Amino acid sequence: MIKKQIGTIILSFLLILAVAGCSSDENNKTESNTSTAQTSDPSIPKLSTNEVHPPHLIRLYDTSQFSIIWNELIDTYYIACGMFFGFESDFLFNSDMRVDYQQTIEHFTPYRNHSFVQGLGRYLDIQNKYADMEVLYYLSQYIISVSNTGLGIGNIQSNIFQSDDEFYSFIVALYEFYQETDANVFFGSSNIHNDKRQYLLEYAKDVPIDDLINEMENYVGNKSVMYGSNNIYYYSMVSVYKSPNNASFRIFGMNNDIFMTSIQSPLGFDGDFSIAQLFETAQHEALHMYINSGIEVHSQLIQDLSKDKNPLDFTSGFYVYMPWHRIVDEAVVRVVQARIYGIVYDDLTFAYQQILSKEDQFGFQNIDGICHILEEYELNRAKYPTIDDYSTVLIERYLSNSP
Ligand SMILES: [Zn+2]
- Residues of the chain with pLDDT > 90, as a percent, come to 66
Determine how many CB atoms are found less than 10 A away from the CB of residue 188.
Answer: 11
Give me ligand 1 centre to Cα 104, in Å: 30
Q: Rounded to the nearest 10 degrees, how much is the dihedral formed by the CA atoms of 260, 263, 266, 272?
A: -140
Give me ligand 1 centre to Cα 102, in Å: 31
Give me ligand 1 centre to Cα 32, in Å: 10
Give me ligand 1 centre to Cα 330, in Å: 5
Give me ligand 1 centre to Cα 325, in Å: 12
Question: Which of 199-208, 282-291, 353-362 is predicted with the least confidence, judged by mean pLDDT?
Answer: 353-362
Give me ligand 1 centre to Cα 247, in Å: 8
Residue 252 pLDDT grade (very low, low, confident, very high; cuts 50, 70, 90): confident
Give me ligand 1 centre to Cα 285, in Å: 6
Partners of residue 8 on adjacent β-strands: 253
The two beta strands, 34-35 and 57-62, are unpaired
- Angle of helix 391-399 relative to helix 324-344, nearest 10 degrees? 110
Question: Which of 51-65, 122-136, 206-220, 266-280 is predicted with the least confidence, judged by mean pLDDT?
Answer: 51-65
Give me ligand 1 centre to Cα 356, in Å: 13
Global pTM?
A: 0.86
Give me ligand 1 centre to Cα 178, in Å: 32
Give me ligand 1 centre to Cα 275, in Å: 18
Give me ligand 1 centre to Cα 319, in Å: 10
Sheet holding 257-264, edge to edge: 34-35, 7-15, 247-254, 257-264, 231-238, 66-71, 57-62
Residue 362 pLDDT grade (very low, low, confident, very high; cuts 50, 70, 90): confident
pLDDT at 318: 79
Give me ligand 1 centre to Cα 164, in Å: 30
> One-letter amino acid identity for 82?
G
Give me ligand 1 centre to Cα 288, in Å: 7
pLDDT at 390 over 80: yes
Residue 95 pLDDT grade (very low, low, confident, very high; cuts 50, 70, 90): confident
d(CA 152, CA 167): 11
Per-residue model confidence as pLDDT tens digits over 14-61: 333 333 222 222 222 232 333 333 333 343 345 455 567 888 999 999
